[in-house]
Each structure stands twice: as structure tokens, then as C-alpha cells.
């Protein structure tokens, strides 16, 4: 816990000193948040497309399809 005396000194300190205190606290937090272990690097697997046969060619009439829409 922070002593009340320290808090009172901080409250009465000039703004520039308060900003320096805040910057110091932020730097220490950034340092503490650094990951201790290296993140795992995923290995990329090659993407392969399998071909398939529908059995027959599919033909459609665009005009007939769009005529149904109005």
C-alpha cells in the first residue's frame, strides 16, 4: 500500500513531476506485461483443392432466373 504521506506529496507536486511519475509507472507496467515465453509460431500447411465431378454440366438461363425476380 502507498503511504498517505506519499499520496499527499504527489497531490501537492507540480504537474510536470506528476506526469513524470505517471510515465515511470506506465513504463514499469509495460515491462511487467512483457511475455515471459515466446509465442508459438504456427506452421503453415499448404492449401490443396480437391477436384470433383458433378456428373454432368449444369446449364442455366440467366434471363429466366432474373425474370422470376421481377
The answer to whether residue 49 is domain-embedded is: no
Is the full-model pTM beyond 0.85? Answer: no
pLDDT (0 to 100) of residue 1: 57
- Structural domains of the chain, count: 1
What is the span of the domain harbouring residue 19?
A: 1-34
The answer to whether residue 69 is domain-embedded is: no
pLDDT (0 to 100) of residue 19: 94
Structure confidence by residue, pLDDT tens digits, 24-45 = 999 999 888 877 667 778 888 8
pLDDT (0 to 100) of residue 49: 86
The answer to whether residue 23 is domain-embedded is: yes
For residues 14-23, average pLDDT: 94
* 3-state SS, residue 70: coil
Amino acid at each position: 500500500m502507498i503511504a498517505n504521506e506519499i499520496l499527499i506529496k504527489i497531490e501537492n507536486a507540480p504537474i510536470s513531476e506528476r506526469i513524470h511519475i505517471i510515465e515511470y509507472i506506465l513504463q514499469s507496467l509495460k515491462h511487467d506485461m512483457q511475455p515471459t515465453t515466446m509465442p508459438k509460431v504456427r506452421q503453415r500447411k499448404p492449401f490443396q483443392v480437391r477436384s470433383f465431378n458433378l456428373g454432368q454440366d449444369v446449364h442455366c438461363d440467366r434471363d429466366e432466373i432474373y425474370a422470376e425476380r421481377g
